[in-house]
Structures are given as C-alpha cells and as structure tokens.
Structure 1
Amino acid sequence: MGTPLGDFLRARRERLRPRDVGLAEYGRRRVKGLRREEVAMLAGMSTDYYVRLEQGREANPSPQVVAAVADALRLDAEPAEHLRRLVQAPEARRTPDAGVSPQLLRLMDGWTACPAFVLGPALDVLACNAPAAALYEGFEPADNLARMVFADPAGREFYRDWERAAHSCVAELRAAYGHDPRSERIGEVVADLSARSPEFAALWARHDVKAKTQDGKRLRHPVVGDLSILFSAFTVNGAPGQELVVYQAESDATAAAFGRLGERRVRVG
C-alpha cells in the first residue's frame, strides 16, 4: 500500500519524459515516465535514497532534499508546497466544525445580488446566501461541489467548460488533502466519486494541485441562462479549512441575471 508522499512522487515522475528534463531517450522504455534512478540523478542523490522516499521508508528528508526533488520533477510553486506538506510529520487534527459563524451568515445575506457560499475542506457546501442557493437550484442537492460536478447530471449543463471545472475541482480537493491526508471526510468523498466516476478517478490519480483563489467561470443556469463570472476565495479566520467564495458578474447581462437570482430567494435543502 502506498503513502500519500510516495503516491505523489510516483504520479509526478510518471508524467515526465526524459526529453522534458533534458535527458536523452534511447529505444523502447519499460517504465512509464522517468525511471527512479533518473529522478535521483537529477536531484543529486542516490537511487536507494530516492526509492526510500517513494516507498515511505525515509521519514525526515531535509528541506534541501525536498527542494532538489521538486526541481527534478519540474514542480511549480503550488505542487512544490504540496510536496513539502506531505513530507512533514502529520499532526492529529480536530475535525473542522461544519458550522458557519452567525456573523458571516449575516454578511453573506446582505449581498442580495452577489452569490456567496462557504466551503469545507472536502468541498462540502456549508452555507450559501439566497443568490447562491438560486444559482444552484438545478442540483439535487447542492451539497458538495465535487459531487455536483461529477455525479449530478445537472453539472454537465451548468458548467459550460465542464472539463476545466472538473480539473479545477479535483486539483482543489487534492490541495486540501495535502493539508490533512488523514481527513475522513475527504477520504469519503474521494472513495465515493472514484467508484461513481471514472473521470474523477483518472484526474485524482494525476495528483494535480491548485487551491481555489480567483478566476473566471462560464455557467449556464436553467432559468436565467448563460453567466460569465469572476470569483474570489477567502480563508475564514477562526474556522480552519473553511473558505468563503464570492461570485461577481463579469458583464452587465450577468449582473442583471444575478439580480433576478436574488429575487427568487430559493433556499438550499
């Protein structure tokens, strides 16, 4: 059985070809991607040491070793930080409180034409204001973003760039997993969706990592039609693992549609 660190290293190693890292490639290769000895050479360490890392038998690699492996695997900033988190000794974590503070709920309710919702680490929708509830009214239920993307038929229509949404969703879930690989809730979501969606399972195996920050989305609501939005995500102080996500209209047409959503006052659940 693999370890979170070993699984990540193996997946990222298998995605690289020798030509990607400046190595010559001769004949037919028996392994997918780079060989372990090639990664070890690029990182300036012995093959035996790198093998111990992949197998979870090296418990405390130095920051210099981690940086060398990240460079060898051509990791950019966010996957490299994910790697650093995985090599740190895991700490016992208290299960995050699923409750959302009354102050934050009141703040969200004041945004009558701006969808806003709070996510837990496993992408559970913990709370949303009226425009957000109306935005997600086509889902049954609007309970978890990952499930909504991969397991609800409404997701294919709602996300106009479905493949992009799917990649982002899994990368965000993987980033949360890196903070707490022993999270029971994240494990439940991953196991459920891996069994129900081959597309989710394939993306999860890629070990892409990207936390939710800010970006654009193109959506299609069953009542108000096509929407072009910008979103920003904010960590919630005092509630570890919770994120506040706020949608803003990118066009006048979307702003008008948000206004109509606010008037619908549809409630989730």
Structure 2
Amino acid sequence: MGTPLGDFIRAKRDSIQPKSLGLPDHGRRRAPGLRRSDLAARAGISVEYLTRIEQGRDRNPSTPIVHALADALSLDPSEREHLRYLTKITGGECPSHARPAPPSRAVRPSVLETLRLLDPGIALVTNRLGDVLAHTEGFAALADGTGLLDAEAPNLTRYVFTDPRAREFFADWDDVADERAFDLWLGPSIENTAWFTAELAPVAGPDFTRRLKGNVVPQRGPLRLDHPAGYALRLLRETLELPSDAQQLVVLLPADEATAQALEELRHGPSGRLRVVS
C-alpha cells in the first residue's frame, strides 16, 4: 500500500522529462517521465531503497535523504515544503479510527472586527478543509447566484467538486480544484483531513481522488470568475494565516478596472453587516 510521500515522489518522477535534466532519452517505455534508476542515481541512493519509499515499505527516510530527493527532483520551495510535510505525516502515527472532533467553527471577535472594517470589500475566513466560517457582505454579493453559500455550513472544497455550477463559476476550474485538494494536506489536523476526504471522495469522484493522490502543488495565480450575472472577473488573493486558530483570512481584490466596476455593480450597497456561518 502506498503512502502520501511515496505517491508524491512517484508523481513528480513521472512528470519530469529526462532531457530537462540533461539525461538521455531512453525511448518509449510503459511509464512516462524519469526512470527510477535515474532518480536514484541523482539522489545518491539505491534503486531498491527508492522503490521501498515509493511503495510505502519505508516510511521514515532520513532528513538527508529527503533533501537529496528534493534536489534530484528539482523541487521548487513550495514543493520542498510539501515534501517535508508528507515525510512528517507518513512517518507519524496512523490516525485514530474514532471520528475526531470537527475543527472549531468559532471566529475570534478581533477577526470578525477585521472583517467588518473590510466591508464592503470581498473577504472571508476559512480553514484548509474549505469551511466558510465568516464573510463580508461583499463576499455574499460575489457569491450570489453561484450556489457557494447555499448550504447551511458552506464548504468551498465540497462546492468545487460536487456542484456543477462551480465549473461554470471558476473559469480555471482545474487550477482551483488542484488548490482545494492540495490544501487538504494542510488541514487543521491529520485526523480531520482523513475523515473529510473519506466522506467527500464517494461523491466527488475521480476528479478529487486523482488530485489528492497526485499531490499537485498549485501556483495560485489570479482568480478568474465567470459570474452568473454576466461579469468576467479577475481577482488577486491575499491570505493572512491565523495559526492559533488553524484558519485563514482571505481578501479578494480586483485585478483590473473592469473587475472593480463589475464588483460595484454586483453590490447591493454597503450595509455594514457581517455574516457569521455558525
């Protein structure tokens, strides 16, 4: 049985063309990308040991080995951080079979006050599972007609993978789906993530499970939205981590004048109200 660490290394190896690393192309082969023997040679380890890591038979590679694999795969900084995280959770204790307590949906008063100050701007408080915990009226105006806030306890990840309207709303749906799947690895706890993914996988289907297993590290460029009201929007994202709460404050800003004008037209007027999703 594989592990998140092994799956990530194998996926990255399969995505690399040998010529990009100055290696000879050995011609057609059953699996794409870099040969296991080539990666092992670049990392200075045996093919047998690399096989054990990829297949999940070795769950505790040393720190030097992890760094050597990162160098051999030419990982960028975000991918290296993800590799270290996967090494940690793969070598740790398995999650308990008892259902964990869900992450807190409470938002600190000072964070709520920050949201009030941001209104009528577009901002929300969320966690890595995708729970929408609080938002400004500006965000409600943006989400109006999309179905994103229709659920009693809205969840962005569930919306992206299970609501057909999401594929129309997000112009770059594949990129957003990669982001949502990747963020689950950084969830409030390993136990919470395990339960959430187990519940979501049967209804989300292969688009979700393939991404979760592939460990694609997203680039997170501008967010492009095709709003059902007929507006094409481009938004920049600024994220403030709230580590003590395992939450994030996300602010969306217009990337161009056309988007700024469209957002003004979407708003029903500044109400100064703030919605908390309990």
For the criterion TM > 0.5, the same-fold answer is yes
Q: Is the 8 A contact 1:115 1:130 kept in 2?
A: yes
Tell me the amino acid that sits aligned with residue 234 of structure 1. L
Count of residue pairs brought into register by the alignment: 263
Aligned counterpart in structure 1 of residue 209 of structure 2, from 201, 213, 221: 201
TM-score, normalising length: structure 2: 0.80
Are 1:226 and 2:232 matched, yes or no? yes
1-structure distance, mates of 2:243, 2:17:
42
Moved more, 102-111 or 28-37: 28-37
Which residue is 1:3 aligned to? 3
Give the superposition deviation at 1:224: 7.0
Cα deviation 1:86-141 (Å, max 9, x = unaligned): 22243789864221112211220222221100111212211111111221122334
Are 1:167 and 2:178 matched, yes or no? yes
1-structure distance, mates of 2:195, 2:35:
29
Give structure 1 regions of 4+ aligned residues with deviation exceeding 6 angstroms. 91-94
2-structure distance, mates of 1:227, 1:145:
18
Q: Is the 8 A contact 2:184 2:193 kept in 1?
A: no
Are 1:150 and 2:161 matched, yes or no? yes
1-structure distance, mates of 2:242, 2:128:
12
Cα deviation 1:19-65 (Å, max 9, x = unaligned): 23322233432334333222111111112222222233434433221
Quote the RMSD (CA, aligned, Å).
Answer: 3.0
Residues 122-133 of structure 1: pairs in structure 2 closer than 5 A: 122-133=129-140
Give the superposition deviation at 1:246: 0.3
Give the superposition deviation at 1:221: 2.7
User: Tell me, what secondary structure is at the counterpart of 1:188?
Assistant: helix
Which residue is 1:72 aligned to? 72
Q: Percent identity?
A: 37
Aligned counterpart in structure 2 of residue 250 of structure 1, from 247, 255, 260: 255
User: Tell me, what secondary structure is at the counterpart of 1:183?
Assistant: helix
Structure 2, gaps ≥5 residues long: none
Give the superposition deviation at 1:238: 2.2
Q: Is the 8 A contact 2:141 2:268 kept in 1?
A: yes
2-structure distance, mates of 1:262, 1:230:
22
1-structure distance, mates of 2:180, 2:168:
16
